[in-house]
Structure 1
Amino acid sequence: MSEMAEASAARTKVVAAALDLFAERGFDATSVEQIAQAAGISRSTFFRQFGGKDDVVFADHEVMLASLREYLDRTHENPWAAVCEASVLVFRRFAADPELSRRRYQVVREVPTLRDREIVTVFRYERLFDEYLRRSLPGLDPLDAVSFAAVVTAAHNHVLRRLLRGARTPSTVLRRALDDAMRRFGVHPDATPEPRADDVVVAVFPRSMPLAEVTRRVQTQITEGI
């Protein structure tokens, strides 16, 4: 096992121990010392790795947000599809250990301060997608960016909650929902018809497609045709 994988496994062990204690004793009644003892680490190591009790609940989100920033910093042919793929990456991470994710879901539901933090965390994903689209598509109407980011985030959360409530929910369910979202916005990769080798070319785009996306696709076709 690589050093990075070992570190990830160690963090997961602490998160699992904390969630078990929160479920058994309650969030407020569980101390950092009890979590550290259950996880087999020192109190100082816990604070160094997580910061506090609420931080350990959302530790996976912090790792995922950092991973998505790295993913979205790469070059992607279709920014809209890249946002959707980022959403699927998040879903797959939490679906990989559904029992741990369900324990977290139950703890968060029972603690008002954690529910409030969850709302903020969800907004951080939405803002990340919004900012990426604006950065990748100069001239994009901010309303188009924030609307698409909100739809993707809402679809992801809906499908993930189905999984957390015990339903069998493969990632293909989320992909279908995101494909529908791209079609409604007119930005699905298949939305542009195949070009014809005529002297006069007429570009046809869905009325719902943002102007910045129309510009991107036209520029791409012109560049590829040179």
Structure 2
Amino acid sequence: MATTEQTSIDAAEFRLHVASESIRLFAERGYEATTVDDIAGATGTSRRTLFRQFGSKEGLIFADHESMLDQVAGHLEAAVDDEDPWWVVCEGAEMVFAHFAANRDLAARRYAVVSQVATLRDRELVMALRYQRLFEEYLRQTRPTAQPTGVVAYAAAVTAVHNYLLRQVSRGDATATAEGLNAELRRLWETLAER
């Protein structure tokens, strides 16, 4: 049994709740004017718990990304030997897109806040690099004979296409869909994956 205040919900739901409340408060009051104590009150937890779990004020707005990174890592680890690892990476990107597309309002509010705060834009870039690195490490393990530059190029392209379409979702573009992402990832897979 969990010992923190969020005993009634699982870790992923708690992270989504923290991100949602953080974004709501940052949008209403401004990033600088919103304190961690404000967010603790809105999430029904303590300041100490927030710092222990998310490390910083910047970490609160991206709290759900940590859960997504864990889920994608689990997906990569669970892939079986006969699956094409190049496509497994694409499936990981699709998982992330599905999460944020299912929460379009949250994605749009996060985009509005992040676009106004330089430190949050920097943090967002770091998050994207963490996904890319996860994909690279997986491909290096499963395809050790693949060209290193090919692995980097593929992981970067998958991440970039995903991020482009996710930004479109965040801007309210209804044409940015899971189907569109799948089609773009298929093109990358057909042209860049080493088989």
**Same structural fold, with TM-score higher than 0.5 when normalized by the shorter chain:** yes
Larger radius of gyration: 1
Percent identity at matched positions?
44
Deviation at 1:139, TM superposition (A): 1.2
2:190 paired residue number: 183
2:60 paired residue number: 56
**1:6 and 2:9 matched:** yes
Q: How does 1:66-85 map to 2 (within 5 A)?
A: 66-74=70-78, 75-76=80-81, 77-85=83-91
2:48 paired residue number: 44
Gaps of 5+ in 1: 188-209, 214-226
1:32 paired residue number: 36
**1:18 and 2:22 matched:** yes
TM-score by length of 2: 0.88
Distance in 2 (alpha carbons) for counterparts of 1:38 and 1:62: 20
Which one of the candidate residues 117, 136, 141 is aligned to 2:123? 117
Distance in 1 (alpha carbons) for counterparts of 2:97 and 2:126: 18
| TM-aligned CA distance change 1:4 to 1:90, over 3 Å | farther
2:150 paired residue number: 144
| TM-aligned CA distance change 1:137 to 1:4, over 3 Å | farther
Q: How does 1:82-97 map to 2 (within 5 A)?
A: 82-97=88-103
TM-score by length of 1: 0.77
Distance in 2 (alpha carbons) for counterparts of 1:9 and 1:138: 36
Distance in 1 (alpha carbons) for counterparts of 2:89 and 2:131: 10
Deviation above 6 Å: which 4+ runs of structure 1? none
Counting matched residue pairs gives 186
| TM-aligned CA distance change 1:5 to 1:170, over 3 Å | farther
| TM-aligned CA distance change 1:5 to 1:140, over 3 Å | farther
2:3 paired residue number: none
Distance in 2 (alpha carbons) for counterparts of 1:31 and 1:72: 37
| TM-aligned CA distance change 1:87 to 1:48, over 3 Å | same
Greater RCO structure (CA 8 Å; 6+ sep): 2
The amino acid that maps onto 1:67 is Q
SS at match of 1:179: helix
Root mean square deviation of aligned Cα: 1.8
1:37-71 CA-to-partner distances (Å, cap 9, x unmatched) read 12232323322332321111111111111111111
Distance in 1 (alpha carbons) for counterparts of 2:13 and 2:128: 24
